[in-house]
């Protein structure tokens, strides 16, 4: 509902202009005779004051009165409009979060929880962000308006409004203890609305909706209820589900997670995180070629933690950016210290996939090269194929800029992804690290023998070195040597060791 549309305003102004023109042109025909007659019969007073002067003055006075009237009408309309949009969304004109909050509060007061249950659902078109990238803002607004209209038509008053312009809030009533059945039916209804595409500039857009639901619990207020529904929504998004219901146990997980993140940032500050070094050995000479730097957390209560216990928890968070910077700085420091002892071994540093989406990473590395005065030629950055899953262009761009600085690139865990081969021609690869899953028991596993043999041929044909990960036995080592593998890494030679232990060994 638009209270005061532009076209109405224009029409209204136009009518006023015609009125003024009419009065100016013909006013004297109608007004003057009356004025003269009125002027003679009416006694002095306000009316006389008003009608006594000349036609021109009279016309001016009437104009002022009309103008004042018009202004007060316009001001009133503007005020109404302002009032309306203080509680309604600009695009959909549905109640906005302030009004929705009030509506929920009012409804809660009227709940009879012994007779039925109530579920709050937040509904969000999951692919709208993507669609927005290819249509204009005005088209996107129209699209949201259309979605809102369809939702309103289907759900009527159960659609309370929007929390943000495309986050629809619905309050639904259903039978007690039938939450799951209700959820199923509701999902069907929602899907039905968007079965057919919505057209924008003749282009059909198919909508996918993601829903988060939370059933009312005694003691909830509007804020808590909406917050919990949002928790369910974000869970649905993160798990790529159509629908998720709020579960109290998730709260505990969230609290634990937040505690963990706080602890992790504290650990970075307190230097509890360190790097262990594991040799990569030249298979032909059996001498250490370089070291791989592997993260460890000296946790004050839990002891020494390995990356599997904390990296997955920080991988999707900004913490992974700080973590990478911390490791690069520490690895450069170790490298300089090793070189000072006349050690010519190189060093490999692991990067997570998200790190290759970090626009500032190359600049940071560049700064650290100067600060530590290191020769990049001896340093490998190990990356895995997952780095290219979400934004391959950006990942490749970052890799190329790292390569330009003089560093070497190593493809870690090679063979475990679906696209291992497709990246070999996208950027320069110096080393391929064949994943441990192909190496374990390779001396007896005929299939793995063929795979690794061919991976080695392939790597050599693009002038990359091959490193076999996780060699544990003499027999595995012997087989890898026989097929011309260049480097090996594994417990057969050494487990990862602290920097101090490594220093003791190399001196």
Q: Which residues bind ligand C2E (CB under 6 A)?
A: 278, 294-295, 306-308, 311, 327, 350-352, 382, 412-413, 469-470, 472, 489-491, 496
Between 96 and 350, CB nearer to Mg ion: 350
Per rule CB under 5 A, count of chain residues that contact Mg ion: 5
Q: Does the footprint of Mg ion cover residue 166 (CB under 5 A)? A: no
For residues 133 and 140, is the Cβ–Cβ distance under 8 A? no
Q: Which does 327 bind (CB under 5 to 8 A by kind): ligand C2E, Mg ion, none?
A: ligand C2E
Helix crossing, 97-110 with 55-87: angle to 10°? Answer: 60
Smallest gap, in angstroms, from Cβ of residue 422 to ligand C2E? 20
Distance CA 336, CA 342 (A): 10
Among 89, 215, 382, 476, binds Mg ion (CB under 5 A): 382
Fill in the per-residue mask, 336 to 355: x = in contact with Mg ion (CB under 5 A), - = not in contact: --------------x-----
Distance CA 473, CA 16 (A): 96
From residue 80, alpha-carbon distances to 2, 88, 101 in Å are 11, 12, 21
Fill in the per-residue mask, 408 to 437: x = in contact with Mg ion (CB under 5 A), - = not in contact: ----xx------------------------
Tell me the residue nearest to ligand C2E as measured from the CB.
490
Distance CA 402, CA 189 (A): 51
Distance CA 259, CA 176 (A): 36
Q: Which two structure tokens, joined as six digits, stand for 450?
A: 């063929």
Distance CA 473, CA 492 (A): 6
Between 358 and 382, CB nearer to ligand C2E: 382
Helix crossing, 222-238 with 248-269: angle to 10°? Answer: 70
Q: What is the DSSP string of 243-280?
A: EEE--HHHHHHHHHHHHHHHHHHHHHHTT-EEEEEEEE
Smallest gap, in angstroms, from Cβ of residue 290 to ligand C2E? 13
Distance CA 167, CA 128 (A): 11
Between 250 and 472, CB nearer to ligand C2E: 472
Smallest gap, in angstroms, from Cβ of residue 489 to ligand C2E? 6
Fill in the DSSP letter of residue 2.
Answer: -
Smallest gap, in angstroms, from Cβ of residue 386 to ligand C2E? 10
Smallest gap, in angstroms, from Cβ of residue 274 to ligand C2E? 10
Smallest gap, in angstroms, from Cβ of residue 229 to ligand C2E? 35
Between 51 and 381, CB nearer to ligand C2E: 381
Smallest gap, in angstroms, from Cβ of residue 410 to Mg ion? 7
Q: Which does 448 bind (CB under 5 to 8 A by kind): ligand C2E, Mg ion, none?
A: none
Tell me the residue nearest to Mg ion as measured from the CB.
382
Nearest to 352 by CA among 375, 329, 318: 318
Which segments of 388-442 are extended strands (E)?
408-414, 431-434
Query: Which residue stretch of 3-11, 249-257, 407-415, 447-455 sits at the interface with Mg ion (rule: CB under 5 A)?
Result: 407-415
Binding residues for Mg ion, rule: CB under 5 A, are 350, 382, 412-413, 469
């Amino acid at each position: 509902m638009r209270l005061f549309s532009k076209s109405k305003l224009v029409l209204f102004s136009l009518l006023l202009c015609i009125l003024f023109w009419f009065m100016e042109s013909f006013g004297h025909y109608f007004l003057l005779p009356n004025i003269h007659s009125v002027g003679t019969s009416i006694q002095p007073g306000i009316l006389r004051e008003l009608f006594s002067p000349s036609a021109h003055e009279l016309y001016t006075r009437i104009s002022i009165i009309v103008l004042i009237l018009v202004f007060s009408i316009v001001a009133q309309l503007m005020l109404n409009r302002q009032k309306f949009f203080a509680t309604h969304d600009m695009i959909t004109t549905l109640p906005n979060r302030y009004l929705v909050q009030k509506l929920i509060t009012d409804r809660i007061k009227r709940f009879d929880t012994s007779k039925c249950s109530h579920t709050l659902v937040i509904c969000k078109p999951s692919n709208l962000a993507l669609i927005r990238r290819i249509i204009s803002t005005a088209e996107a607004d129209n699209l949201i308006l259309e979605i809102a209209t369809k939702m309103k038509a289907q759900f009527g008053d159960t659609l309370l409004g929007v929390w943000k312009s495309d986050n629809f809030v619905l309050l639904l009533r259903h039978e007690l203890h039938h939450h799951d059945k209700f959820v199923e039916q509701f999902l069907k209804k929602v899907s039905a609305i968007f079965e057919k595409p919505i057209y924008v500039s003749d282009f059909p857009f198919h909508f996918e909706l993601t829903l988060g639901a939370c059933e009312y619990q005694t003691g909830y207020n509007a804020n808590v209820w909406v917050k919990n529904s949002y928790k369910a929504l974000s869970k649905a998004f993160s798990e790529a589900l159509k629908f998720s219901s709020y579960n109290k146990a998730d709260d505990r997980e969230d609290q634990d997670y937040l505690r963990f993140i706080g602890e992790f940032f504290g650990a970075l500050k307190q230097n509890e995180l360190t790097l262990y070094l594991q040799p990569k050995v030249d298979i032909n000479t059996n001498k250490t070629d370089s070291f791989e730097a592997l993260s460890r957390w000296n946790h004050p209560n839990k002891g020494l933690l390995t990356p599997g216990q904390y990296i997955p928890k920080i991988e999707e968070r900004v913490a992974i950016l700080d973590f990478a910077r911390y490791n690069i700085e520490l690895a450069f420091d170790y490298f300089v210290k090793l070189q000072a002892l006349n050690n010519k071994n190189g060093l490999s540093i692991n990067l997570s996939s998200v790190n290759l989406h970090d626009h500032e990473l190359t600049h940071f590395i560049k700064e650290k090269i100067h600060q530590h005065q290191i020769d990049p030629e001896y340093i490998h950055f190990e990356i895995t194929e997952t780095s290219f899953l979400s934004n391959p262009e950006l990942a490749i761009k970052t890799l190329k800029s790292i390569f330009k600085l003089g560093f070497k690139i190593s493809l870690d865990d090679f063979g475990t992804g679906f696209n291992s081969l497709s990246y070999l021609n996208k950027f320069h690869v110096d080393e391929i690290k064949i994943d441990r899953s192909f190496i374990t028991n390779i001396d007896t596993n005929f299939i793995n023998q063929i795979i690794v043999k061919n991976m080695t041929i392939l790597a050599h044909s693009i002038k990359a070195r091959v490193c076999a990960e996780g060699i544990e036995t003499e027999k595995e080592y012997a087989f890898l040597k026989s097929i011309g593998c260049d480097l090996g890494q594994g417990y057969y030679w050494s487990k990862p060791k602290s920097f101090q232990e490594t220093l003791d060994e190399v001196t």
